[in-house]
Chains A and B, each alone.
Chain A
Amino acid sequence: MDDNVKVVEAETSLEALREADEALRLPAVAEPITYPIETKVPDARQQTPAVGQRATRPDGRLHGLGQTKYIDDLSFPGMIHAKIKRAGIAHARIKSVDVSEAAKMPGVLATLVGAEIPVNSFGPSLQDQPVLASDIVYHAGDGVAAVAAVTEQLAADALEKITVEYEPMTPVFDPLEAMSDDAPKVHDPDSNIYATKVIKKGDVDKGFEDADHIFEATFRTQMVEHVPLEPHATIADWDGNGRLTLWSSLGRITMGRADVSRTLGLPYNRIRIIGTIVGGNFGGKNEITQEPILGLLSKKTGRPVKGVYSREDEFMSSTTRHPFIMEYKTGINSDGRIVARKVRLVCDGGAYCSWSETTLGKACILSAGPYNIDNLHVEAFAVYTNKTMTGAMRGFGAPQVCFAYESHMDDMAKELGIDPLEIRLLNAFEENAASPTGQVLESVVVKESLQIAAERFGWKD
């Protein structure tokens, strides 16, 4: 009889334990979704004709629901994490890179140095940029070694164990200083000027002679970052057939594949780049960064490797907007008509060429503003310095020169006693105007945009 009692007690306590356990346990599956799974499609998405409709974005709904998968939301079985060690010195010869202590750390599965990269250079117009610096460091944000470990934190810790011996070289930071003959040279032993553009139209000297007034000013702009919400991020998977798949935040996958092919020596058909939804680009994700590094770390470990830049990586090592020094000289008549302009642009090209040539070209063409100037002379230079690399950024030199030519315009308007709106309307391009490069412009609406903005703003009130 005693035995029976014991059994009952045992069953009760077991039940109680189960209940207590159930109450403590976190739900094994996520809470049921609370949005209607049947999507109501807004009218603007269903109407024809489609052009001109204020159609909502299908990706917008996913963003709003938190369902968009950015790189950091993706995970694969066995995936490991990579981190890149930054030089922290602006110009130096690398005497040695020792990764042995890092490699010994528990959880570290592979390391990589520049010498292991098959073709350690790339770039859209000049191939002057190493994937990982192996010989010379050109700016403080240069990567010098990489580590792959089972967690991101372990990879970051392992970077501390890497020792690099540097022989410091004299750096140059100011672009005007860098242009002088005796300045320390960044890449080319002859000159730091790596791109030059010229535009000549009419006779600028005669134009200045004929003009009633001459105005001169120098404008400068700073280095800024794109600061996308999502930093550069990639997952690389080198499979058993020697085929590399990259899930990447790149904004230009066609060129990205060409660069990966070049740096890794792989045929194009063994590289697959999948561009994920990108959390902001603004020109900062136009070229490869860590993709070849992650590919090789994946090859070494046989595991998918994820690399997500920290904000510091993003600032220090990715491209930025070119600082410009812009000298303007303008000849203008008392009635406000511009007759001649001379512009000299120096763009701080940072450590690598990247998209400087394009930036310089656009800045050069646009530097006169949307105005008719018969006599024009523009010369522009891109100069290497040992600063963070500059590259494509929303506007390719246009925000810089616009700040200059529009500030210059208002200075002149004020001196001549002309309303800023009127002086612009007087000089603005019309349909079939000739651009600084002699191109006949079509669908020109400069004056309309001035008038519409002025009306909306209440300029004359």
Chain B
Amino acid sequence: MKRTGKGIGCMWYPIGFTVAANPSAATVKINEDGTATVLTGTVETGQGALTVLGQIAAEELGISADDVHVVSADTDTTPMDTGAIASRTTYVTGNAIQMAAEKAKEILFEVAAPLLRVKAEQLEAADRKIQVKGFPQRCLPIAEVANHAQFVMGMPAIGSASFNPPTVEMDPETGQGKPFSTYVYATQIAEVSVDDETGEVDVIRIAAAHDCGTAINPMLVEGQVQGGISMGIGFALQEEMLFDENGVQINPNLTNYIMPTSLDMPEIEVDIVENYDPTGPFGAKGVGEPTSVPTAAAILNAIFDAVGVRIYSLPATAEKILAAIKEKRAEERQALPAAE
């Protein structure tokens, strides 16, 4: 018989890592037509990081995502970066890019100030314009200012900056300290169906509510959550590297190492928890790894709710679940008063 159950997985996760310094550097060039080029040493590993980093630069410069081109990952030309690791790209590299863009923007303000007859501090960048704060109608197109900066004033608008999250080393005896600059929080709730005759689990749906500070690009956040959950399902139910008694892996292939496919995916409902971290770029933190963290916990708790067995070792294969169900039934039979 198929029995359904529900389970919660709740988690917290730090942004960045601890062993050593964790810096990112970036350069932002505002082109003569008001578009921009960003140089970053991070690598696009499929998560959409370059799109998000471009949006951060665009926001600072008051232009659109499409106005920014991001050049990445060349040790000859791009600045040093700690890389695509530890859910740090949006937060750490993002902060560096925002700071670099701000420096480049200040050059445009310096150029625009006399043209608009105000002080540079009174200016802001928005909607592809350099405008006077509080008087947006007093403005110049950013293209005109950038062109003027390069070809009339001889002041190319380029900024470089770096960011390293402030931390306090942990005391080796007590572990007390400030190992990370900030953390994110999330909850996933899973509904599963467990066949109590075979032990097979079907994950029916998962509701995922994730905090990432400001969602720079909500669509890409949702994509990360969906991908993270697929990895979490594999960790919870299927995937395991198996070794023979000599320590040689016996399933080093995708025929015998079973990963979830699209057919194993549940319905996923993503909520982004509204939040703002003042230390992140425009309030953003990160989201990459956390999406995969609570999935197994939620699924295992849902199995517990469905059939009343606790699986203490991952993956919760059908064999393990069935064995636990049988053991529970045997215990229950024993507990019954003996028939007269």
Contact = CB atoms under 8 A, between A and B. Distances in A.
Interface of A: 41, 44-60, 88-91, 124-125, 139-141, 171, 173, 197-201, 217-225, 227, 250-255, 257, 268, 271-283, 285-286, 311-312, 314-316, 320-321, 357-358, 361-362, 364-366, 369-370, 378, 386-388, 392, 394-396, 398-399, 402-403, 405-407, 410-411, 414, 420-421, 424, 428-429, 435-439, 441-446, 448-450, 452-454, 456-457, 459
B23 to A, nearest CB: 9
Contacts of B46: 277-281
B277 interface: yes
B14 A51 contact: no
B314 interface: yes
12 contacts: A48-B62, A173-B247, A223-B241, A251-B83, A283-B85, A369-B12, A388-B249, A406-B300, A407-B310, A442-B277, A443-B278, A449-B185
Given A222-B314, A312-B252, A446-B12, A198 B289 contact: no
Contact of B249 (A91, A253, A316, A402): A316
Given A53-B65, A449-B186, A251 B43 contact: yes
A145 to B, nearest CB: 18
B72 interface: yes
A306 B37 CA distance: 31
Nearest to B251: A315
Contacts of A268: 75
B254 interface: yes
Q: Which of A48, A283, A436 lies at the interface centre, i.e. has the most chain B CB atoms within 10 A of its CB?
A: A48
Given A200-B175, A361-B179, A399-B232, A457 B6 contact: yes
Interface stretch (B53-61, B111-119, B330-338): B53-61
Given A220-B314, A315-B252, A437-B170, A445 B275 contact: yes
Given A51-B282, A420-B301, A449-B210, A224 B14 contact: no
* 3 closest A-B pairs by CB: A252-B83, A275-B73, A90-B247
B14 A278 contact: no
Nearest to B292: A394
Contacts of B7: 410, 420
A269 to B, nearest CB: 9
B257 A406 contact: no
Contacts of B126: 48-49
Contacts of A253: 41, 43, 73-75, 81, 83
Given A223-B241, A252-B85, A286-B85, A394 B231 contact: yes
Q: Which of B218, B228, B241, B251 lies at the interface centre, i.e. has the most chain A CB atoms within 10 A of its CB?
A: B241
Interface stretch (B133-141, B148-156, B187-195): B187-195
Contacts of A405: 297
Contact of A429 (B12, B43, B84, B293): B12
A257 B126 CA distance: 39
A245 to B, nearest CB: 9
Contact of B293 (A44, A220, A378, A398): A398
Contact of A48 (B63, B175, B312): B63
B261 interface: no
Contacts of A315: 241, 249, 251-253, 257
Contacts of A227: 239, 254, 257, 259
Interface in B52-93: 54-56, 58-59, 62-66, 68, 72-76, 80-86
A173 B243 contact: yes
B314 to A, nearest CB: 5
Contacts of B75: 253-254, 257, 268, 271-274
A443 B213 contact: yes
A178 to B, nearest CB: 12
Interface string B235-260: 11001110100111101111001010
A316 B185 CA distance: 34
B220 interface: yes
A88 B248 contact: yes
Contacts of A321: 235
Interface in B248-304: 248-249, 251-254, 257, 259, 269, 271, 273-278, 282, 285, 288-290, 292-298, 300-301, 304
Contacts of B10: 369-370, 406, 424, 428, 446, 449-450
Interface in B105-126: 126
A434 to B, nearest CB: 10
Contacts of B310: 407, 411
A454 B189 contact: yes
Contacts of B240: 222-224
A251 B300 contact: no
B315 A442 contact: no
A388 B243 CA distance: 10
B257 A225 contact: yes
Given A222-B313, A225-B257, A254-B75, 5 more contacts: A60-B48, A224-B235, A320-B241, A370-B185, A449-B211
Contacts of A225: 239, 241, 257
A442 to B, nearest CB: 7
Contacts of A255: 82-83
Contact of A51 (B19, B127, B216, B304): B216
B327 interface: no
A439 B217 CA distance: 29
Contact of B300 (A198, A250, A388, A407): A407
Contacts of B85: 251-252, 283, 286, 392
Contacts of A254: 41, 75, 80-83
B231 A51 contact: no
Given A89-B246, A90-B248, A406-B8, A448 B174 contact: no
A278 B257 contact: no
A332 to B, nearest CB: 16
Contact of A54 (B45, B217, B253): B217
Contacts of B128: 48
Contacts of B197: none
Contacts of B271: 452-453, 456
B45 A251 contact: yes
B9 A406 contact: yes
Given A52-B216, A316-B252, A437 B84 contact: no
B328 interface: no
